[in-house]
Structure 1
Amino acid sequence: MWGALARRGGRGGWRGLAAGRPPAAAAPWSQVVSEAEKIVGYPTSFMSLRCLLSDELSNIAMQVRKLVGTKHPLLDTARGFVYDSRNNLQMRGLVILLISKAAGPSTAELSFQPNMVSGIYSSQRSLAEITELIHTAFLVHRGIVNIGELKSCDGPLKDMQFGNKMAVLSGDFLLANACTSLAQLQNTKVVELISSAIGDLVQGIYYENSKLSEENCLTDDIGISTWKEQVFLSHSALLAKSCQAAMELAKHNAEIQDMAFQYGKHMSMSHKLHSDLQPFVKESSSDTVVFSLNSAPAILHQEFLGREAWIKQIREAQGKGSLMDYKKLQEAIKAGKGVTSAIDLCRYHGNRALAALESFPPSEARSALANIVHAVTRFS
Structure 2
Amino acid sequence: MVQPNQSNKYDPFSLVSAEMGVLAKNIASLIGSGHPTLNRVSSYYFEAEGKNVRPLIVLLLSKALSNIPESERTRIIIDQYDVNDQEEFKGTPKAFSFAGQSPLDSISPLRVLHGINPSIVLNPLSKPMMDKKIYEKVDVKNGILPKQRRLSEITEMIHTASLLHDDVVDFSDSRRGRDSGNIAFTNKMAVLAGDFLLGRASVSLGRLRNSEVVELMSTAIANLVEGEFMQLKNTVIQPDLNQIENDNELKSIPEPTGKLSTQIHEYSISTPTSGVITHSENVNAAFQYYLHKTYLKTASLISKSSRSAAILAGCNEDIIENCYQFGRNLGLCFQIVDDMLDYTMTAELLGKPAGADLKLGLATAPVLFAWETKPELGPLIARKFSEKNDVELANRLVEETNGVERTRKLAESYCTEALKNLRQLPESDARSALELLTNSVLTRNK
TM-score relative to the length of structure 2: 0.62
Instruction: Report the Cα distance in structure 2 between the residues aligned to 1:214 and 1:116, rounded to whole angstroms.
Output: 53
Residue 192 (structure 1) aligns with: 215
Q: What's the CA shift for 1:367?
A: 0.9
**Other structure's SS at 1:133 match:** helix
Alignment map for 1:1-380 (pairs within 5 Å): 29-31=2-4, 35-44=11-20, 47-52=23-28, 55-56=32-33, 59-60=36-37, 78=44, 80-84=45-49, 87-88=50-51, 90-104=52-66, 106-107=70-71, 108=73, 111-112=79-80, 116-145=140-169, 163-211=186-234, 213-214=245-246, 216=248, 223-282=286-345, 289-293=354-358, 294-306=363-375, 308-311=376-379, 322=388, 326=392, 329-378=394-443
1:215–1:370 CA distance, 2 compared to 1 (3 A): same
Q: What's the CA shift for 1:62?
A: 7.5
Residue 14 (structure 1) aligns with: none
1:63–1:362 CA distance, 2 compared to 1 (3 A): closer
**Other structure's SS at 2:318 match:** helix
Instruction: Report the Cα distance in structure 2 between the residues aligned to 1:330 and 1:181, rounded to whole angstroms.
Output: 44
Instruction: Report the Cα distance in structure 2 between the residues aligned to 1:103 and 1:206, rounded to whole angstroms.
Output: 35
Instruction: Report the Cα distance in structure 1 between the residues aligned to 2:218 and 2:442, rounded to whole angstroms.
Output: 30
**Other structure's SS at 2:163 match:** helix
Q: What's the CA shift for 1:59?
A: 1.4
> Structure 2 unaligned runs (5+)?
83-138, 174-181, 235-243, 250-281
1:283–1:122 CA distance, 2 compared to 1 (3 A): closer
Q: What's the CA shift for 1:94?
A: 0.6
More helix by share: 1
Instruction: Report the Cα distance in structure 1 between the residues aligned to 2:25 and 2:394, rounded to whole angstroms.
Output: 40
Residue 154 (structure 1) aligns with: none
Amino acid at match of 1:277: M
Percent identity at matched positions?
Answer: 27
Residue 275 (structure 2) aligns with: none
Higher relative contact order, structure no. (Cα contacts within 8 Å, ≥ 6 residues apart): 1
**For this pair of structures, how many residues does the alignment match?**
319
The Cα offsets for residues 13-64 of structure 1, whole Å up to 9 and x where unpaired, read as xxxxxxxxxxxxxxx9323589212212525266244344654287126776
Instruction: Report the Cα distance in structure 2 between the residues aligned to 1:46 and 1:170, rounded to whole angstroms.
Output: 22
1:283–1:299 CA distance, 2 compared to 1 (3 A): same
The answer to whether the Cα contact below 8 Å between 2:2 and 2:53 also exists between their aligned partners in 1 is no
Instruction: Report the Cα distance in structure 1 between the residues aligned to 2:34 and 2:170, rounded to whole angstroms.
Output: 24
> Structure 1 unaligned runs (5+)?
1-27, 65-73, 151-158
1:180–1:258 CA distance, 2 compared to 1 (3 A): same
The Cα offsets for residues 251-279 of structure 1, whole Å up to 9 and x where unpaired, read as 10111000000111111111111111114
1:339–1:255 CA distance, 2 compared to 1 (3 A): same
Q: What's the CA shift for 1:184?
A: 0.8
1:338–1:237 CA distance, 2 compared to 1 (3 A): same
The answer to whether the Cα contact below 8 Å between 1:94 and 1:128 also exists between their aligned partners in 2 is yes
Residue 10 (structure 1) aligns with: none
Structure showing greater radius of gyration is: 2
**Other structure's SS at 2:357 match:** coil
**Other structure's SS at 1:234 match:** helix
The answer to whether the Cα contact below 8 Å between 1:37 and 1:44 also exists between their aligned partners in 2 is yes
